[in-house]
Structure 1
C-alpha cells in the first residue's frame, strides 16, 4: 500500500464513520463514493470499522484507568459508554452484523471480534488474568452491564469538516 493509498483509505474510512454516525441505521454505508474501490467488499470494510471500534474502546479504557478508580469494572463500563457515544453508527453496524450477519464470513469475523472484546473488557476490569473461556464469559457479562446501563447521547450536529468547513461555521455564527 502506497502512502497515497494509505491516506485515501483513511479519508474514505472517516467518511464511512461520519455517515454511519449520522444515519445510525446499522447498515454499512457501501454506497459512498470510493468505498467499493478502497475496501473491495463488506467484510474488509466491516473489519476496518471493527478495528476502529476496538481501538477507540481500548483507548477509552486506558483513559478511565489513568484516573486510578477504585472500581475497575465501573471504569471499563464508563469507557464502553464513552466509546459508544463517540461511534454510535459504528456500534450500530457492529451490533447489526453480530445479530444478523449478512454472510458466513462476516458471522465468523464478528464472533472472533466479540470474543476478543470480551477478553479485553474482563482483563482490563481486573476480573481475570488469563484469556480463556471463563474470561470471555466474564467479559460478556461486563458488556451486558454496559449495554443495560447505557443511555445514548443525543445525535449531535456534525462538526465542520476541514479548515474551510470550520471557517464557514465561524462566519455563519
Structure 2
C-alpha cells in the first residue's frame, strides 16, 4: 500500500504553490534521471497526498507537454502523421528525461496495486491517443492502444537522447526571476 509521505524538511513561512513544488520535483527528476520519485524536495509532503498523487502530477505534466509537442509537429509535418508523433515523443523525452524515467519506472515497478491500476490506465489512454494522433486508429477502436504501443516502441527505439549538461539548459522564467531576486 502507498505510504503517506512525511517531511523532515523545515517548512518556510511563505507557502509555495503546488505548481512551484512540482517544477522543483521535475527539475530534481531531470537532474537525477534515476526514475525515483523525488520525495525529498521541499514541500512535497505538504503539496501531495502520497506517491500516487505526485506520480499522477508528473504523468499529467508529461502528457500535457507531449500533447503540445504533437500539435506543433503536426503543424510542421501534416502529411506524415506518425513521423510527427514520433518526433514529438523524442522532443518531449529530451525536455523531460527525468519525468519520463519516473513514469517508466513506476509503470514497470508500481509501488502497490493502486499505482499499478493507475499506471495501466494512463498508459493505455496515452497509447490510444498516440494512435489517434498518428492517424492510425480511432478512439472507439478497441485495439487502438496496441497500435499506439507500436508507435511508442518505435519512438523509444529511434530516440537518441540529446546530450545535455544541466548547466547549459535554459532556465525557466520563474527560475531566472528567483535567481535575480536572490542575487
Q: TM-score with structure 2 length normalisation?
A: 0.84
**Cα distance change of structure 1 residues 164 and 100 upon mapping to structure 2, 3 Å threshold:** closer
Name the structure 1 match of 2:35. Answer: 26
Aligned length: 165
Q: Pick the aligned partner of 1:145 from 146, 154, 167.
A: 154
Name the structure 2 match of 1:85. Answer: 94
CA contact (8 A) 1:119 1:131 kept: no
- What is the distance in 2 between the residues matched to 1:36 and 1:100? 22
Aligned-residue Cα RMSD (Å) equals 2.0
Name the structure 2 match of 1:73. Answer: 82
SS at match of 1:133: coil
Q: Which runs of 4+ in 1 moved over 6 A?
A: none
- What is the distance in 1 between the residues matched to 2:77 and 2:125? 24
SS at match of 2:17: helix
Name the structure 2 match of 1:60. Answer: 69
Moved more, 11-20 or 124-133: 124-133
Gapped runs of 5+ residues in structure 1?
none
- What is the distance in 1 between the residues matched to 2:178 and 2:51? 32
Gapped runs of 5+ residues in structure 2?
1-13
- What is the distance in 1 between the residues matched to 2:63 and 2:106? 15
The Cα of 1:32 is off from its aligned counterpart by 1.1
Going by fraction, where is helix more abundant, 1 or 2? Answer: 1
Q: TM-score with structure 1 length normalisation?
A: 0.88
SS at match of 1:61: helix
Name the structure 2 match of 1:103. Answer: 112
CA contact (8 A) 2:65 2:92 kept: yes
Moved more, 36-45 or 155-164: 155-164
Q: Pick the aligned partner of 2:56 from 47, 58, 83.
A: 47
- What is the distance in 2 between the residues matched to 1:27 and 1:133? 33
